[in-house]
Amino acid sequence: MQIDFFAAPCHKIDGNCKKEGVVCKSITRNERFGICDNRSGERKPAFIDIVNEEIWDLIVRNPIKTEVTFKAIDYCVDIFRENNELIKRCEGFLIYRNKIIFIELKTGTYRGWLSDAREKLEETIGKFRENHPDQGYEIIAPAISNKRHNRIHQSETEQKRKFKDKTGLDFRVISEISFA
């Protein structure tokens, strides 16, 4: 079954879009905004915030005020393996000027957080490519953000090698993205 990563489904039976305040797709031209993961304990997607900097997990600088779309994937797009098990999904992606940056947000320093982030990006990007082979967007280096981990992770080189072998891409462990 074909999966449309760009749709903002509001007809889902389990109701993510039927829950008040859930937004699967946002567009902004703000000079500065944050991407936030939901920490309320509810299963809700990541989102853009332009006001509450203390909740931002990833800062996005957009000094030229280009149109940027954030499309949530986790809790917005159901993606299954052949055995009907949900794949590991990253938080979502940013689209700007025909480029896509897939994003995974982490908020802890537990053992294995970087390999978990890598796996989520690998599975999501793999399914995206499978379902949108002629999408016309350039997939650029995905971003992993963990604002509680501000140094190079001991297994980062190994995780990057595994990711590159599987996707052909490099990922970045960063706390800020800038569109210039």
DSSP 8-state code for residue 50: S
Tell me the C-alpha distance between 81 and 77, whole Å. Answer: 13
Residue 5 in domain: no
Residue 3 in domain: no
Residue 158 in domain: yes
Residue 103 in domain: yes
For residue 178, what are the contacts with CB-CB under 8 A and spacing of at least 6? 60, 61, 62, 63
Residue 83 in domain: yes
Residue 174 in domain: yes
Which pLDDT score, from 0 to 100, does residue 148 have? 75
Q: For 65-112, give the DSSP string.
A: ---EEEEE-TTTS--B-TTSPBPP--SEEEEETTEEEEEEEE----TT
Which pLDDT score, from 0 to 100, does residue 11 have? 44
Count Cβ atoms within 10 A of the Cβ of residue 77 and give its class: 0-12 exposed, 13-18 middle, 19 or more buried.
buried
Mean pLDDT for the chain overall = 86
What's the number of domains the chain is made of? 1
φ/ψ region of 112 (left if φ > 0, alpha if ψ in -120 to 50, else beta) reads left
Give the model confidence (pLDDT) of 69-111 as tens digits. Answer: 999 999 888 888 888 899 999 999 999 999 999 999 998 777 8
In the predicted model, is pLDDT for residue 126 greater than 90?
A: yes
Whole-prediction pTM value?
Answer: 0.88
Residue 9 in domain: no
Predicted confidence band of residue 130 (pLDDT cuts 50, 70, 90): very high
Residue 92 in domain: yes
Residue 158: give the domain boundaries.
16-178
